A and B are shown apart, each in its own frame.
Chain A
Amino acid sequence: MGLISWARKKSPWALHFNTGSCNGCDIEVVAAFTPRFDLERFGIILQGSPRHADVLVATGPVVRQTKDRLVRIYEQMPNPKCVVAVGTCAISGAPFTGSYNIHGGIDKVIPVDIYVSGCPPKPEAIINGLIQAIKKYEKKQ
């Protein structure tokens, strides 16, 4: 059991999904993988397919159009999995709260483990959020 939790701590693969963000948070998420911040140091690789990912990095408020897709992508990910909500919109819907086409934050639709606040959050904050997610992910069965 010690070996498996060690391995999980060392290689959480991320999937980035835009649920209706303005692209600000997405640029910062991608920036966290660039040479300056280089998340591969911690073994985190950006994956293309939800079947290969362990951590879902979701940005933006859940709009009506992406709600079903978000749930589907979450269900396609293998267990154990965790979700990081990046940005103020992903936490609560922020300036769009109450709008006719918004469901609200990510946690209205799927369970969220870590919230990273900021509009947009700095790459350092996203890295910190992912490290917190790793700590939580390690304990999951």
Chain B
Amino acid sequence: MPFLDIIVFPGLLFLLFLAFFCEWLDRKAVAKLQNRVGPKHTGPEGILQPFADFIKLLSNEDIIPAAVDRIMFSLGPILILTLSLMPLFLIPIAGSSALVWFEGDLIFIMFVMTLRIIITFLSAWSSTNRFSMIGGMRVILQMLAFEIPLTIAMTGPAISARSLSLSKIVQFQASEHLLLLAQPLGFVIVTICLLAELRMVPFDIPKAKTEIVKGWFVEFSGKKLALLRLTEDFELVLAASLMVSLYLGGPIGPWQTQSVLYFFTKLVICILILSNLRALFARFRIDQALKGAWKYLTPLALIQVILVELMPMVIP
């Protein structure tokens, strides 16, 4: 039943619920770390809060300012949502192979993530607001800096598994060992780069609230804002599930068992790591972030790849 797979499980509906759940989990975890309560009165323990936000934004007035480029401004949020949803279909969630998979889908995921950032820049530029233009420029700068160490570090698992497919990497981890044990450095680099790539808190420079209001999505309201917020939730799921499938073995449990529950548990752990970092750090300046990426992360990623190649020679 490929149709049911795409629409219900592990397709669109499941991912939608997962995205809302992850936003709730993230907000609750950050609130807990800041000694607050977080969303409380929307459903049990506020679990329906992201859903309520989404419905409210959909019902709000959708303003298109007079000065914007109408086509790009209206198309932007839809394209960004599609492009952030697409890589999720390539990630093995229920079994050891994904809904769609082919040799080289790791490269495809990287390509889609780059494309998404270019669309982000275009829609920021087309909203003709000074803040969103600055935000758009920062999005591009950050992508240029962090794409390179991310790609280099992601080749580590690919070299170990001798395959450029995420599903194959997960199957390799099922038969051999978790790649987190072999490449802890790579895991750290990928986590930092994903934070930057998906513009989460220590690297939320493009939408810094206190200096450029809300950065690249300052002009979006109503339905467009709802789609953009949903995109952010999907990106959170994407970041966590990339970490899970590259280094933690995806839906693989102990004793060669496979279940979506294992995937879910690992996903929750990864999201807790990400929200812990979000509560722990303040925002970097743009030059600090770029300097960090070029001076430390790229060489470290190269060292990781060299280690991956050398390790089998030293320890047979």
Find out whether the CB atom of A43 lies under 8 angstroms from the CB atom of B61.
no
Return the CB mask of A50-62 against B: 1 if under 8 Å, else 0.
Answer: 0110100000000
**Roughly how many angstroms separate A133 CA and B76 CA in the complex, as a whole number?**
33
Shortest Cβ gap from B72 to chain A (Å): 17
Shortest Cβ gap from B224 to chain A (Å): 10
> A6 contacts which chain B residues (CB < 8 A)?
52, 55
Please classify the interface of chain B as helix (H, G, I), strand (E, B), loop, or mixed, using the class held by over half of its residues. Answer: loop
Contact of B218 among A43, A51, A79, A80 (CB under 8 A): A51
> A47 contacts which chain B residues (CB < 8 A)?
214
A118 at the B interface (CB under 8 A): no
Shortest Cβ gap from A99 to chain B (Å): 31
Shortest Cβ gap from B270 to chain A (Å): 23
Choose the segment among A7-15, A21-29, A82-90, A106-114 that binds chain B (4+ C-beta atoms closer than 8 Å). A7-15
> B36 contacts which chain A residues (CB < 8 A)?
35, 38, 40
Knowing A48-B214, A78-B62, say if A7 contacts B49 (CB, 8 Å): no
B48 at the A interface (CB under 8 A): yes
Find out whether the CB atom of B37 lies under 8 angstroms from the CB atom of A79.
no
Which chain A residues (30-69) contact chain B, with CB distance < 8 Å?
35, 38, 40-43, 47-49, 51-52, 54
**Roughly how many angstroms separate A123 CA and B124 CA in the complex, as a whole number?**
37
B257 at the A interface (CB under 8 A): no
B160 at the A interface (CB under 8 A): no
> B59 contacts which chain A residues (CB < 8 A)?
4, 7-8
B265 at the A interface (CB under 8 A): no
Find out whether the CB atom of B55 lies under 8 angstroms from the CB atom of A51.
no
Shortest Cβ gap from A82 to chain B (Å): 13
Find out whether the CB atom of B56 lies under 8 angstroms from the CB atom of A41.
no
Find out whether the CB atom of A38 lies under 8 angstroms from the CB atom of B31.
yes
Find out whether the CB atom of B52 lies under 8 angstroms from the CB atom of A7.
yes
Shortest Cβ gap from B54 to chain A (Å): 8
Find out whether the CB atom of B31 lies under 8 angstroms from the CB atom of A78.
no
**Roughly how many angstroms separate A43 CA and B55 CA in the complex, as a whole number?**
13
Sort chain A's interface into a size bin.
20 to 34
B63 at the A interface (CB under 8 A): yes
> B209 contacts which chain A residues (CB < 8 A)?
48
Find out whether the CB atom of B49 lies under 8 angstroms from the CB atom of A43.
yes
Return the CB mask of B36-62 against A: 1 if under 8 Å, else 0.
Answer: 111111100010110111111001111
Find out whether the CB atom of B55 lies under 8 angstroms from the CB atom of A49.
no
> A4 contacts which chain B residues (CB < 8 A)?
55-56, 59
> B222 contacts which chain A residues (CB < 8 A)?
78
> A38 contacts which chain B residues (CB < 8 A)?
31, 36-38
Shortest Cβ gap from B211 to chain A (Å): 10
* Chain B residues proximal to chain A, CB less than 8 Å: 27, 31, 34-42, 46, 48-49, 51-56, 59-63, 209-210, 213-214, 218-222, 225
Can you list 30 residue pairs at the A/B interface with Cβ under 8 Å?
A: A4-B56, A7-B51, A7-B59, A8-B59, A10-B41, A10-B42, A10-B49, A11-B56, A35-B35, A38-B31, A38-B36, A38-B37, A40-B36, A40-B39, A41-B40, A41-B41, A41-B46, A42-B41, A43-B39, A43-B41, A43-B46, A43-B52, A43-B53, A48-B209, A49-B219, A51-B218, A51-B219, A78-B221, A79-B60, A80-B60
9 tightest Cβ-Cβ pairs between the two chains A and B = A7-B55, A78-B61, A10-B52, A51-B221, A41-B40, A7-B56, A79-B61, A10-B42, A35-B35
